[in-house]
Structures are given as structure tokens and as C-alpha cells.
Structure 1
């Protein structure tokens, strides 16, 4: 019994850390449960990665959605920003100008040379991106898809 408790305590911090940001993580678990929301898919993805040890392999080999660029990224700032500014961001994107749209461009690190194209894209695809302002996750997913569909702006999609 003591061994089981010790194993649980040792693995808890790793599991808790991985579950906190499963959306942006890599490994077989993140691929199998990709697009699913909630605690259960995150825990299952982390468990899959931990059980098979594939996340380490993915990082060292550059497979399973992992990169070898040495950059640890998190999209939580973008998600938090969208969540706190959904309505105003939708209005700014519809008009093609405004503080929240400028702040989003800055948060995504849109180059000055690409900012006009970014603003144009969000205005032109406003109805698609902001189909519902109830969920920041859905807005972020549709914004990411819109950016990915534009060759010039696709490089900013990873920050969403």
C-alpha cells in the first residue's frame, strides 16, 4: 500500500503539470485526444503520454506534434485575452480598428508589415471567427484556422 501511495505522490506533480496545458502539448496522447475539451480528455492524454513514454521520444525525434526548436510555448495569454475581451474584440474586428484588435495583434507578435493583412483578415472573416462570442475557445480555434488559411499570416496561428 505504501508503494502505491508513494508512486501516486511522485507522479502527481508531473501529471498535474502536463494536464494544465494539454492543449498545447505534444505526444501520442495529445494526438489521440486532440480537439476534445474537459478534464477527462486531458488526464487521458497525459496518462497515455506517461504510460508509453512517447512524449520524450516525440521531443527528441521531432515527431508526434513535438518540435526540437527548444521553445516552450503557451497560448494561455491569448486565450485569457480573448476571454476577457470577446465582445469588444468582435466589435473592433468588424470595424477593422480598435484597441483590442491592436492588442491582439501585439499579443500574437504580428509584424508591422503584416498588421494590415491581419486586420483585413479579421474584418473579412468576422462572421466566421466571431460566429458566437460565448466561447473564447471557439473564437480562438476559428481565428487560428483563419490565420492558417492565409499563407502570409499562417506563421501567427501557433500563438493562438
Structure 2
């Protein structure tokens, strides 16, 4: 190694940038992703090209959101531009009744549904049979519950508010 390379290497090794600490710009909290990776690691499915969406969903089940339970939701105004129409349900009699009563209005709004408490693919498929044409996806509602201060469902969330009343 020549002298020039030695000086450059020494300068880089002892520069303030090399000794600087990592600064966290933002910590938005959230949940551990360990459960997701555990589900991925334990999959005994064929390669992704042969897997169907149902197989992927089955690996996500059961979904349990302890922060949310069936119950009454007081309507309130929100400002969520661009969210569209999103509804939250579970696999329970209250959610099933609400879904059946509002399926046409939810469909007219092009609403997408999150099923936040569901045990099995059979239960998820049963909910889907009540609302043909609507998208229903199993998903944890923990983050939505925390951010929107929700404790109950079923509920429709739009860019202007949340309510159990779906209305036109």
C-alpha cells in the first residue's frame, strides 16, 4: 500500500462520519412483523406461481383483533381524503346481519371490507356468500382501532366520517 492510500484509508477510518451514531428520524410505532414471517416460514404451499389467493389467505387465519368487538358505534366526522369507502366487520351475528342489510348500499359505494375477527376460511367464505361482489379481506384492525379510536364494529369508514348507517 502506498502512502497516499494509507492516508486516505486512515482519514476514512477516523472521520467523524465513520464514528457517528445512527439517528432515528421517526418512530411511528406499530406492531412486530414476527407473526407475518412465522406464517410465511411455515407455509407448505407450492411455489407462488401455483398458489391461489385462497391459500395465501388461509395462511393468514385466524385473525383476531382484541381491540375490536361487535357493538354500537356512534357516528362521527372525520377528514380522511382519498380513503374511499371501507367497512369493518367480524364473524359474528351482529356483523352478519349488518352486512346483509347493507350489502346493496356498500356495493353501490364500491366499499371494501376488512374482516378483523375470523377463525377459518370456511367462516370467511360464509361471510363472502352474504355479500357477493364485495371484497372481504381478513386483516388485523389493531392499527385502525388505535388511530380512529374505535372499539366496536360493524362500521363504515369514509373520507368524511364513520358510522354504522350506510345510507346513499
Scaled to the shorter chain, the TM-score interval is: under 0.3
More strand by share: 2
Under a length normalisation based on structure 1, what TM-score does the superposition of the two structures give? Answer: 0.23
Query: Which has the bigger relative contact order, CA under 8 A and spacing at least 6?
Result: 2
Going by fraction, where is helix more abundant, 1 or 2?
A: 1
Taking structure 2 as the reference length, the TM-score comes to 0.22
